[in-house]
Amino acid sequence: MKLFVYGGAILLIIPFQVVVIHQFAIGSIVPDSILLTICLVGLWRGKLEAVVLGIGLGFLQDLLSGSMLWVNLITKPLIGLAAGVWGRTVLSLTSWIIPIFVMGISFISNLLVLVFFKIHSPEMDIIRAFFGTFLPQVLYDGVFGAIVLLAVFLLFPTLYRNVRNL
Amino acid sequence: MFHSRSRTKKAWNVFLILFLVGLAFSPFFAAKSLNVIAVPLAEIIKVPLTVTSSLERKLEEGGGVIRDLIDLYNQNQLLADELARMQIEQNRLKEIAAVAERYRLLFDFKQQCPYSTVVAQVIGRDPTNWHRSVVIAKGERDGVIAGMGVITPLGVVGRVLKVNRTFSVIQLILDRDNITTAVVQRTRDEGIVQGSENGQVIMKYLPPLSVVEPGDVVVTSGLDGRFPKGMVIGIVNQVEKKIATPFKSATLTLHEDFSKLEEVIVLLSTNVLGERGGECFMQHKDEREA
């Protein structure tokens, strides 16, 4: 049953990120709904399921992206792990901490990507990449993530109670 | 005593009855006497009658107006529904016309282009912000191979990066990992065109004595084997010479907005087909719109 649910989630979220999310683009920056999904699963179901889902989603994200490196295959399970550990044991997830939480997760993910790309192509302009992609992405992920997570928690209060161990 | 009173009463009653009957059977006297009462009575009764009658008429008229309003409202609703349907239909037809126009341009281009090509629909965009790429609905089974050039009737789009059986990922020339050999059409100065982190396209390694200037058209040089010679890449927007490097570089304005790409053409081969000669004729978008 769980396999079908996660399979269905993957089949929904990947086309959403590849086709629909560009409607929400600010400049050329789009929020990472895959990262958000993994965060939510990490908070709700724990680190193990988030890591497994991160592997699946990261693989497909790399398959469809214009990168020859499999960076998302590495970063996405890692952020699943971080969300699972950090979100459930360290933080008390109140409404004002959600954007900071998502920004933190996005920061880790994008920092890893930046490091990978810099190692792979040393001529990369790190300042331009930081201000052109990294920073806008982290901020947009935080805002978008907060809106989506708050909406999910409002729609499903039991989920929120579950996440906060209430 | 009692009997005589009763008899008198009866006599009066009989008299009164006879008087009234007589009055009833005497038309001249009755009409005259009734007219005396009837005329003022009629005048009095006429007022409420007239008022009631006019009220009824007004109510009828008012009822008619309300009925008309209800009819108008219903008609308005029907017309609004019809209008909404027509607008949807009009939008659908506009969309079909736009698609038909795009396909006509692609078809015309394909007809006069002397290379083997395949038209592909763009079905998605890069799921990350770190790269500039699109996903097209053509793959290995359509003859697409990694490294092939991708164009539109307006100019160069990028190259095939990853190929699957039914879809491919196209790396746009905006991507910092994409490098294309190019030449300035007017001065014939060669260089390489590369994307950058902030989405700009830059022509690098132009000779230091190059007289390239804003407005010059940059085309493919054909040296990389991916594109034939002379395909439009963009127009020079700004030329600069940094102190740290002996070469000049130029920022390019591309021929179209890549965030709105809907169909592209994959160059399956850069060898000229059969009897066809010449080059693909590419127009700048301003010329085409004009």
Q: What is the mean pLDDT of residues B244-249?
A: 88
Who among A19, A25, A125 is closest to B124 (CB)? A19
Q: How many CB atoms lie within 10 A of CB A38?
A: 32
Specify the amino acid at residue A46.
Answer: G
DSSP H or E segment with residue B218? strand B217-220
Q: Which residues of A touch B242 (CB under 8 A)?
A: none
Q: What is the pLDDT of residue A91?
A: 61
- The pLDDT, as a whole number, for residue B289 is 52
CB contact under 8 A, A28 and B129: yes
Which residues face B240 on adjacent strands? Answer: B249
Task: Report the residue from A63, A68, A133 with minimal CB separation from B129.
Answer: A133
Per the CB < 8 Å rule, is B127 touching A64?
yes
> Between A47-64 and A33-45, two packed helices, what is the crossing angle to 10 degrees?
170
Closest CA of chain B from A145, distance in Å: 16
Q: Tell me whether residues B177 and A64 touch, CB distance under 8 A.
A: no
For the cut 80, the answer to whether the pLDDT of residue B33 exceeds it is no
Instruction: Reply yes or no on whether the pLDDT at B20 is more than 70.
Output: yes
**Rounded Cα gap, residues A112 and A135, in angstroms:** 13
User: pLDDT of B48-74, one tens digit each?
Assistant: 888 888 888 888 877 778 888 899 999
- What is residue B241's predicted lDDT score, i.e. its pLDDT? 86
User: Chain B neighbours among A 53-92 (CB < 8 Å)?
Assistant: 61, 63-68, 72
Give how far B274 is from chain A: nearest CA, Å: 34
At B277 the pLDDT is 52
Inter-chain residue contact A129 with B259, CB threshold 8 Å: no
pLDDT of residue B255: 85
Would an 8 Å CB–CB cutoff place B64 in contact with chain A? no
Q: What is the DSSP letter of B56?
A: H
Looking at chain A, which residue has its C-alpha nearest residue B128? A65
What is the percent of chain B where pLDDT is above 70?
88
Nearest chain B Cα distance for residue A19, angstroms = 5
- Mean per-residue pLDDT of chain A: 86
Contact A129 B197 (CB under 8 A): yes
Higher pLDDT pick, B19 / B195: B195
- Mean pLDDT, residues B176-198: 91
Prediction pTM value: 0.74
User: Taking residues A81-106, what's their average pLDDT?
Assistant: 79
Provide the shortest C-alpha distance from residue A4 to chain B (in Å).
23
- Chain A, 25 to 54: residues with Cβ < 8 Å from chain B are 25, 28-30, 32, 34
- Smallest Cβ–Cβ distance between A66 and the set B132, B196, B197 belongs to B132
Contacts of the segment A74-77: beta carbons below 8 A, 24+ positions apart? A74/A112, A74/A116, A75/A109, A75/A112, A75/A113, A76/A34, A76/A35, A76/A38, A76/A109, A77/A50, A77/A51, A77/A52
Which residues in chain A have their CB less than 8 angstroms from residue B199's CB?
Answer: 28, 132
Pairing between strand B168-172 and B133-136? antiparallel
* CB contact set of A86 (below 8 Å; sequence gap of 6+): A101, A104, A105
* Closest residue in B to A140 (Cα–Cα): B129
Phi, psi of B151, deg, nearest 5: -135, 175
Using an 8 Å CB-CB cutoff, list chain B residues near A144: none
Q: Please measure the distance between the N-terminal and C-terminal CA atoms of chain A and give it in whole angstroms.
A: 26
Task: Calculate Rg over the CA atoms of chain B.
Answer: 48
| pLDDT recorded at residue B224 | 83
> Looking at CA atoms only, how far is residue B55 from chain A in angstroms?
59
Residue in B with minimal Cα distance to A72: B128
Q: Nearest-CA neighbor of B178 among A105, A165, A68?
A: A68
ipTM score of the complex? 0.86
On whether any CB of chain B is under 8 Å from the CB of A158, the answer is: no
Q: Which residue of A has its CA nearest to B159?
A: A66
Cβ of residue B123 closer than 8 Å to a chain A Cβ: yes
Instruction: Count residue pairs from A and B with Cβ separation < 8 A.
Output: 80
Residue B249 has pLDDT above 90, yes or no: yes
Does B198 lie at the interface with A, CB-CB under 8 angstroms? yes
For residues B28 and B256, give the distance between their C-alpha atoms in angstroms, rounded to a whole number.
110
Amino acid at A57: L
| Rounded distance between C-alpha atoms, residue A93 and residue A153, angstroms | 11
Contacts of A27 (CB under 8 A, 6+ apart): A136
How much is the pLDDT for B30?
55
Asked whether the beta carbons of B177 and B132 are under 8 A apart, the reply is no
Tell me the mean pLDDT in the region B142-167: 93
Q: What is the DSSP string of A68-125?
A: SS-HHHHHHHHHHHHHHHIIIII----TTHHHHHHHHHHHHHHHHHHHHHHHH-TTS-
Closest CA to A72 of A107, A29, A112: A112
